[in-house]
Chains A and B, each alone.
Chain A
Amino acid sequence: AQKVTQAQTEISVVEKEDVTLDCVYETRDTTYYLFWYKQPPSGELVFLIRRNSFDEQNEISGRYSWNFQKSTSSFNFTITASQVVDSAVYFCALKTNAGKSTFGDGTTLTVKP
């Protein structure tokens, strides 16, 4: 069985604050893939980043950064200098080599001006 836990249900910050969204996963597979998606109020799901289980290199893309730690089964997402447009629901997801996909329950981020 596989599981993705996003313990933070809702987070509220003021614009320009940094915010980290936590993701912890469980799987028995040795090869797996981790993803972050964004769902703005309009409802569509937008892919943000992917990580393979054998690639622990962290990544920065503009104001976004990701910290993958296999030892703690965590794949956390940080937004630096948050903006109102970052307000959305963010989902962490795990996919196995066989293709089965599991999403966390999501973290609702509200960025206030």
Chain B
Amino acid sequence: NAGVTQTPKFQVLKTGQSMTLQCAQDMNHNSMYWYRQDPGMGLRLIYYSASEGTTDKGEVPNGYNVSRLNKREFSLRLESAAPSQTSVYFCAGTVNSNQPQHFGDGTRLSIL
């Protein structure tokens, strides 16, 4: 099983460029999440999708958009990248609220 797969693993962008981070899971997760992890800040929730067809803002949604394309895929888009968005991005999924999240390996994004 692939689990939760994020692409790309690394990316360097220039300020103002746009980019979509992809996340796909084969674990039958109903809920999917996007987090960013900055040094010493833990994981901060950007957006989540509690079920297919729904998306909700998390703690730090500004500058991002998401699409729950189908049950398997949940993408994160940066329309106009800014240096403050330099971070490690994690996608996660879970079957139900009372179950733990399974995380992808992360995408290390640098914006110059």
**Chain A residues engaging chain B, CB cutoff 8 angstroms:** 6, 9, 33, 35, 37, 43-45, 47, 50, 52, 91, 93, 95-106
With A100-B58, A101-B48, A106-B42 in contact, do A50 and B97 touch (Cβ < 8 Å)? no
Interface of B (DSSP majority class): strand
Q: Determine the chain A residues whose CB is within 8 A of the CB of B43 once the complex forms.
A: 45, 91, 93, 103
Q: How far is the CA of A105 from the CA of B98 in the complex (A)?
A: 21
Question: For residue A9, which residues in chain B have a CB less than 8 angstroms away from its CB?
Answer: 40
Q: In the bound complex, do residue B101 and residue A47 qualify as a contact, i.e. CB atoms below 8 Å apart? A: yes
Chain A: CB-nearest residue to B106 = A43
Residues in B lying within 8 Å of A, measured CB to CB: 31, 33, 35, 40-45, 48, 50, 56, 58-59, 88, 90, 92, 94, 97-103, 105-106
Task: Please report the C-alpha to C-alpha distance between residue A35 and residue B45 in the assembled complex, in whole angstroms.
Answer: 15
Report B45 CB to chain A, min CB distance, Å.
6
Report the bound CA distance from A100 to B44 in whole Å: 11
The answer on a CB contact under 8 Å between B45 and A91 is no
B41, A52: Cβ atoms under 8 Å?
no
A104 to chain B, nearest CB (A): 6
Distance in angstroms between the alpha carbons of A52 and B44 in the assembled complex? 22
A101 to B50, CA, bound (A): 10
Q: Which residues of A contact B41 (CB under 8 A)?
A: 105
Given contacts A100-B45, A103-B45, 4 further A-B contacts (CB under 8 A): A95-B97, A102-B45, A105-B42, A106-B42
Chain A's nearest CB lies how many Å from the CB of B66?
14
User: Which of B33, B43, B106 has the largest number of chain A CB atoms within 10 A?
Assistant: B43
Q: Which residue of A lies closest to B40 (CB)?
A: A105
Q: Is the CB of B98 within 8 A of A50?
A: yes
